[in-house]
Amino acid sequence: MDTAEIVPADCSDTELIRATLAGNQQAFRIIVERYEDSVAATVFSMVGNIPEAEDIGQETMIRLYQSLHTFKGEASLKTWICRIAINLSLDYLRRKKRRWLWFLDNGTEVLESIPNPSCNNRQWEQREAIQTSLMQLKPEFRAVVTLRLIQGYSTEETAEILQLPVGTVLSRLTRGKSKLLEQLKERI
């Protein structure tokens, strides 16, 4: 049920959550608009620029809506959304890997990419190199690299989102960066 009350777009997350829980759909729309770029960055870095990425993004927002009543505010809303996006991306990658193992008996991921006409060739090549190199990382390393280096979360925040000890995040980051650098050296 939607309450007709108009919510200002500059409302705090807490106010938006309260309004959403009171049945105000407009408030939830503001949350979606506020965090869609963050979700996109996370999902695209995790699964690549593929059509399914939008489905994962939509599912992230639906799951957020369904679990909003359990949000206690211990972490920020952005962290909470990012955790959902990462978990759904990892689920997708696991399912995809299982499908490939089933059909081809081969666990390597295939990068399906959509060219972006807004980039020039050099930028496009660089983006492709980064994206392709990211896709070569194992999902657990990719998640750490995405959050820590692309999204710019701190090590502690990354650990909180992935629900891992800080030490594990640091070791995965070091190994992930090392592998990423090897890949990038071949491509750039």
- 81 burial class (0-12, 13-18, 19+ CB within 10 angstroms)? buried
Member of 57, 92, 135, 137 binding other proteins (CB under 8 A): 57
Q: Does 164 bind other proteins (CB under 8 A)?
A: no
20 neighbors 26 (Cβ within 8 angstroms): no
- How far apart are the C-alpha atoms of 35 and 97, rounded to whole Å? 28
Q: Does 10 bind other proteins (CB under 8 A)?
A: no
Q: Does 65 bind other proteins (CB under 8 A)?
A: yes
Q: Does 96 bind other proteins (CB under 8 A)?
A: no
* Shortest distance (Å) from residue 36 CB to other proteins: 5
Complex with other proteins: residue 100 or 136, whichever CB lies closer: 136
* Shortest distance (Å) from residue 57 CB to other proteins: 6
DSSP letter for 74, please: S
Residue 148 C-beta-side C-alpha neighbours within 13 Å: 22
Give, as ranges, the residues between 105 and 144 that touch other proteins (CB under 8 A).
116, 119, 123, 126-127, 130
Q: Does 181 bind other proteins (CB under 8 A)?
A: yes
Stretch that binds other proteins, among 5-13, 28-36, 69-77, 79-87 (CB under 8 A): 28-36
- How far apart are the C-alpha atoms of 88 and 47, rounded to whole Å? 10
The total of other beta-carbon atoms located within 10 Å of residue 119's CB is 13
What Å distances lie between residue 2 and 28, 32, 69, 128, CA to CA?
11, 16, 16, 43
Tell me which residues touch other proteins (CB under 8 A): 25, 28-29, 32-33, 36-37, 39-41, 44-45, 49, 53-54, 57-58, 61-62, 65, 116, 119, 123, 126-127, 130, 145, 149-150, 152, 174, 177-178, 180-181, 184
